[in-house]
């Protein structure tokens, strides 16, 4: 058994000091006399030492399992330079993300101290478009792995003075950044950036326009797999604004390759004309899409689509497409609902369904986002 790291020991000791002080206070309050005091102290000390050992051993064993999962998966990731979308992920790469993320989740759940497996790595995030979940979870994932992290503040960067995002990335590269996590509003920007940078750094696409959001699809896949096991043969309904959704595209590319039967539903004005070519069954009505589904994935409707004349009114959209508990009764009894966030409550999903712990996987998706992004960063950058 490996000894716990210094960081683990220090962290545990701080928690233990607080506990020791409480125990001493209790003993003083009990006013033990001298004869009782010494054996009581020895007894308490023994208990504390054994609890500390058990905690440190459990933490070390989770770290070992995490490292073992990485060692099993690294052979599949050896030749991968970038993560741009889900369409070129091999079965081995996908399986190893699940394997490593499963162990990462145990570490996060136990509240273990940050690891140091990426302590020699420098990672930058550059979000040219707003984000809460993706940016925060990548940041937490990088810190949990011990990497040095730089968050480019786009609003105060030289991009505002007209510097291109390619020059910005080359600048970060010259400072020693080894991986760049980028979100940009232009579809195809990630692939273009990857072509420019070649193998000089690892690029992770955190969302490019309408095109792709691979880590969202991976965390959705991981979340559904935790519930159902294999997704082969599962019916998965994707409902909403399919035209403008990078989440839908990356999910469709991934889920159809895993043998899932993907059905879509959305207003014809928000459904790409050639969506069927992606291997999905396209509906305009929501009912046949969610009937007997294992999972219903709800997409955000951007409220400005109404101004663009793509939906008659929010009220009409709500009436025809909002997913609520009544509509969920068309799906399998055990069916679960997902939403990538941010949500428009009571527009595309009812508030009561979003909050229903038996049906909603929304908070689990967010929790799993950190574990899945830890797996991606470790597999891409680990040694
Ligand atoms: N799901 C998602 O991409 O959320 P953010 O825009 O908050 O990152």
pLDDT band with cut points at 50, 70 and 90 for residue 55: confident
Say yes or no: CB of residue 341 within 6 Å of ligand 1.
yes
- The closest residue, in CA terms, to atom 1 on ligand 1 is 340
What's residue 40's pLDDT? 73
| Residues paired with residue 336 on neighbouring β-strands, in sequence order | 295
- Contact assessment for residue 341 and residue 207, using Cβ atoms and an 8 Å cutoff: no
Structure tokens at 288: 């046949």
pLDDT band with cut points at 50, 70 and 90 for residue 309: confident
Burial of 318 from C-beta contacts in 10 A (0-12 / 13-18 / 19+): middle
Residue 330: HSE in the Cβ half-sphere, 13 Å Cα cutoff? 15
Nearest CA to 108 out of 56, 55, 74, 63 is that of: 63
Angle between helix 214-228 and helix 246-257 axes, rounded to 10 deg: 50
Query: Catalytic annotation on 133?
Result: yes
Q: Is residue 138 predicted with pLDDT exceeding 90?
A: yes
Task: Give the mean model confidence (pLDDT) for residues 62-76.
Answer: 97
Structure tokens at 224: 């559904």
The alpha carbon of 91 and the centre of ligand 1 are apart by a number of angstroms equal to 26
What's residue 1's pLDDT? 40
What does the mean pLDDT of the chain come to?
92
Angle between helix 133-144 and helix 214-228 axes, rounded to 10 deg: 80
What's residue 22's pLDDT? 72
Query: Catalytic annotation on 283?
Result: no
Q: What are 158-189's pLDDT values in tens digits? A: 988 999 999 999 999 999 999 999 999 999 99
Helix (H) or strand (E) holding 106: helix 91-110
Query: Catalytic annotation on 277?
Result: no
Say yes or no: CB of residue 342 within 6 Å of ligand 1.
yes
Q: Which residues fall within 8 angstroms of residue 95, CB to CB, at 6 or more apart?
A: 73, 76
- The closest residue, in CA terms, to atom 3 on ligand 1 is 134
Q: Which residue has the higher pLDDT, 195 or 32?
A: 195
CA distances from 105 to 218, 246, 360, 366, 368 (A): 14, 26, 19, 12, 7
Ligand 1 atom at minimum distance from 136 CA = 8
Q: Which residue has the higher pLDDT, 189 or 29?
A: 189
Q: What are 236-289's pLDDT values in tens digits? A: 999 999 999 999 999 999 999 999 999 999 999 999 999 999 999 999 999 999
- Contact assessment for residue 235 and residue 228, using Cβ atoms and an 8 Å cutoff: no
Structure-token match 């009912």, residue found: 287
Q: Is residue 224 predicted with pLDDT exceeding 50?
A: yes
Nearest CA to 298 out of 226, 223, 241, 367 is that of: 241
DSSP symbol at 103: H
Nearest CA to 371 out of 110, 11, 2 is that of: 110
Structure tokens at 215: 């880590």
Of residues 133, 191, 228, 345, which has the active-site annotation?
Answer: 133
pTM of the model: 0.89
Q: What is the DSSP secondary-structure string of 33-65? A: -HHHHHHHHHHHHHHHHHHHHHHHHHHHHHHHH
Say yes or no: CB of residue 131 within 6 Å of ligand 1.
yes
Q: Which residues fall within 8 angstroms of residue 330, CB to CB, at 6 or more apart?
A: 287, 290, 291, 292, 293
What's residue 6's pLDDT? 47
């Amino acid at each position: 058994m490996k000894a716990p790291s210094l960081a683990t020991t220090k962290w545990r000791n701080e928690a233990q000091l607080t506990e020791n002080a409480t125990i001493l206070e209790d003993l003083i309050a009990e006013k033990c006399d001298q004869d009782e005091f010494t054996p009581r102290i020895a007894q308490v000390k023994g208990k504390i030492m054994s609890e500390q050992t058990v905690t440190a051993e459990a933490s070390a064993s989770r770290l070992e399992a995490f490292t073992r999962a990485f060692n099993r998966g690294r052979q599949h990731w050896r030749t991968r330079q970038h993560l741009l979308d889900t369409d070129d992920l091999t079965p081995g790469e996908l399986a190893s993300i699940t394997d490593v993320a499963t162990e990462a989740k145990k570490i996060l759940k136990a509240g273990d101290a940050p690891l140091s497996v990426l302590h020699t790595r420098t990672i930058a995030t550059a979000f040219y478009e707003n984000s809460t979940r993706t940016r925060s979870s990548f940041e937490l994932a990088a810190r949990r792995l011990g990497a040095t992290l730089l968050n480019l503040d786009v609003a105060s960067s030289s991009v505002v003075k007209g510097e291109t995002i390619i020059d910005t990335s080359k600048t970060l590269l010259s400072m020693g950044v080894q991986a760049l996590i980028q979100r940009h509003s232009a579809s195809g920007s990630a692939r273009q950036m990857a072509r420019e940078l070649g193998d000089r750094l690892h690029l992770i696409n955190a969302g490019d326009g309408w095109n792709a959001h691979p880590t969202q699809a991976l965390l959705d896949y991981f979340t559904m797999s935790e519930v159902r096991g294999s997704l082969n043969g599962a019916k998965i309904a994707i409902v909403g604004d399919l035209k403008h959704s990078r989440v839908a595209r990356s999910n469709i590319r991934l889920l159809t390759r895993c043998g899932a039967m993907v059905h879509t539903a959305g207003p014809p004005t928000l459904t790409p004309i050639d969506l069927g070519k992606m291997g999905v069954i396209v509906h305009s009505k929501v009912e046949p899409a969610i009937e007997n589904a294992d999972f219903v994935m709800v997409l955000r409707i951007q409220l400005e689509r109404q101004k663009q004349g793509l939906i008659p009114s929010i009220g009409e959209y709500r009436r025809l497409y909002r997913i609520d508990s009544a509509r969920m009764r068309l799906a399998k009894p055990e069916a679960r609902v997902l939403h990538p966030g941010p949500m428009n409550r009571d527009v595309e999903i009812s508030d009561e369904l979003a909050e229903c712990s038996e049906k909603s996987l929304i908070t689990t998706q967010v929790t799993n986002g950190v574990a899945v992004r830890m797996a991606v960063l470790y597999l891409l950058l680990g040694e």
